[in-house]
Structure 1
Amino acid sequence: MPLLKRLATLLCLLAVLAVAGCSSVTLAYQQLPLLAGLWADNYLDLDSAQRTQLKAQLQAWQAWHRREELPQWQALLRQAHAAMDDGVTQDELLALERGARASAERSLQHAAPLAAPLLAGLKPEQWQRLQRKMDEKTAEWRDKQTGKGGPAERGKRYVSNLERWLGDLDHAPRKEARSDAEGWHFDLAAMAQGRATRQARTVESLRAWSRQDLAGGTALMMQNLLPLPAEQAYREQIIASLLKLLNGLSAEQREAVRKHWADWGAELKTLQAG
């Protein structure tokens, strides 16, 4: 999970739909098995039999998720709506985060037994490819974060994530959010270490699943959703900026956010029924 994607869990579990980069929840959700399969193939270079196996597993997981977790997503959206009514507090943001993590944990617990047979059959060169691809992504991330362009990149990503969850922002809050992110203190060494730790945990958790240590692998995955001590100061900057932005929205902008979430809610109900 990219580091900045963690801020999305402060709003709602719809973070997972970011993989589609799409404003339509329905389209993004329907494409999740395909996109997840393409991602796995890119990182593991699956053979034909493995692709077929993965497709069946992803479809089974989504059928469960549609039935069991979409109602939980709708509850999180209602919780977010309620938080907007009288000013958002840090406790409310953290409660949304806890709800998102709980849904993520249930989803991983259900995914583990489905993924284990495929992972158990991976060849050594496929595990090596996974490590190599993750290292390449880390190198790309470091390149974007270093030098004069680093603050601008963080500002761009922050605003992009905000508008994915809140809808289009007016010029003033968009400008303020970008300025906030560009001004955050960013400890590259600490953040790089955090990314390396999560990368190692991800590989270790997948290997645990491959050995049928489903609970152990899931626990490692869940650790990746928690900030490391060295990242806490950066996290606090994000939370402070979010609170300032959300509580500084005009009545018109708050209504636009509510409509954005209401549209999501309507799509989720349709997906659940389908």
Structure 2
Amino acid sequence: MRLLKRLATLLSLSLMLGLVGCSSLSLAYNQMPLLAGLWVDHYLDLDSAQRGRLKDALQAWQAWHRREELPQWLALLRQGQAALDGGVTPDELAALERGAQASLERCLQHAAPLAAPLLAELRPAQWQHLQKTMDEKNAEWQAKVGGRGGAAERAKRYITNLERWLGDLDRSTRRQARADAEGWHFDLAAMAQGRATRQARTLEGLRAWSRQDLAGGTAVFMRNVQTLPGEQLYRDQITASLLQLLNGLDARQLQQVRKHWADWSAELHRLQAN
């Protein structure tokens, strides 16, 4: 899980990270079994029978999520709106992150028994494919953020995540966000080590689920949410920038953010009703 995406939002709900960038939250949510299935298949190289079982599991998981977790998303959205209206404090931001982590844990706990049978039947070649694909993704990340254009790439990602959650930023706010991100101290070695640690834990968690150690695997996945010592400075810089940006929005920008979130609330209510 990317550190930036956990911090650069008042509502860092892990599932929504892939959805809010779409033009229609409802469309993306309704297509989640298809989109998630393609993503999982990319990492595991499933055969046709396994794809069918994965589809059934994802549809069952989504039915639970629509019924049980969408109300939690709405509550967290209301919590974020209340924090924004009164000026966001570090404690409020931390409380929102804890709410997001609780949502993630519930989602993992429900996913574990659905995923375990499929994981148990993976062949050695499929586990090797997973390892290879994760290694390739890590190499791609390191090339993007660690090269000469790394600071610009990190700034671009920061602004993209901000606008997913807040709506379009005006020119001066974008300029300030870019300047902040380009000025952050970034320890490539420490961040790369953090990604390697999370990759190893992800494999450990999946292996645990494949052995029917559902609670143990979920606990390993939740450790991936924790900030590692080498990442703390980078996290603190992002948090400080985010708080300054949120509390510096003028009345027009605040109104735009409220409208952006009101639109989300309406879509979530429609999804829940379906």
Question: Normalising by structure 2, what TM-score?
Answer: 0.97
Q: Would you say the 8 A contact 2:22–2:28 is kept in 1?
A: yes
Q: Is 1:117 the equivalent of 2:108?
A: no
Paired residue type of 2:122? L
Runs (5+) with no aligned partner, structure 2: none
In the alignment, the residues of structure 2 paired with residue 228 and residue 23 of structure 1 have an alpha-carbon distance, to the nearest angstrom, of 34
Paired residue type of 1:155? A
- The answer for the alignment partner of 1:12 in structure 2 is 11
- The answer for the alignment partner of 1:43 in structure 2 is 43
- The answer for the alignment partner of 2:145 in structure 1 is 145
Shift of 1:37: 0.3
Shift of 1:16: 2.1
Pairing of 1:84-99 with structure 2 (within 5 A): 84-99=84-99
Shift of 1:35: 1.0
In the alignment, the residues of structure 2 paired with residue 232 and residue 262 of structure 1 have an alpha-carbon distance, to the nearest angstrom, of 33
Shift of 1:24: 1.6
In the alignment, the residues of structure 2 paired with residue 95 and residue 23 of structure 1 have an alpha-carbon distance, to the nearest angstrom, of 28
In the alignment, the residues of structure 1 paired with residue 7 and residue 55 of structure 2 have an alpha-carbon distance, to the nearest angstrom, of 30
Q: How many residue pairs are counted as aligned between the two chains?
A: 273
- The answer for the alignment partner of 1:254 in structure 2 is 254
Shift of 1:139: 0.1
- After superposition, the Cα gap between the structure-2 partners of 1:13 and 1:235, relative to the gap in structure 1 and judged at 3 Å, is closer
Shift of 1:226: 1.1
SS at match of 1:69: helix
Paired residue type of 1:11? L
Shift of 1:128: 0.2
Paired residue type of 1:69? E
In the alignment, the residues of structure 2 paired with residue 188 and residue 36 of structure 1 have an alpha-carbon distance, to the nearest angstrom, of 30
In the alignment, the residues of structure 1 paired with residue 113 and residue 254 of structure 2 have an alpha-carbon distance, to the nearest angstrom, of 42
Question: Normalising by structure 1, what TM-score?
Answer: 0.97
Paired residue type of 2:135? D
- The answer for the alignment partner of 2:237 in structure 1 is 237
Q: Would you say the 8 A contact 1:44–1:126 is kept in 2?
A: yes
In the alignment, the residues of structure 2 paired with residue 112 and residue 81 of structure 1 have an alpha-carbon distance, to the nearest angstrom, of 32
Shift of 1:148: 1.7
Q: CA RMSD in A?
A: 1.0
Runs (5+) with no aligned partner, structure 1: none
Paired residue type of 2:163? E
Pairing of 1:260-271 with structure 2 (within 5 A): 260-271=260-271
Residues 78-115 of structure 1 show CA distances to partners (whole Å, capped at 9, x for unaligned) of 00010011211010100000000000000000000000
Paired residue type of 1:12? L
In the alignment, the residues of structure 1 paired with residue 249 and residue 112 of structure 2 have an alpha-carbon distance, to the nearest angstrom, of 41
- The answer for the alignment partner of 1:79 in structure 2 is 79
- The answer for the alignment partner of 1:62 in structure 2 is 62
Paired residue type of 2:104? A
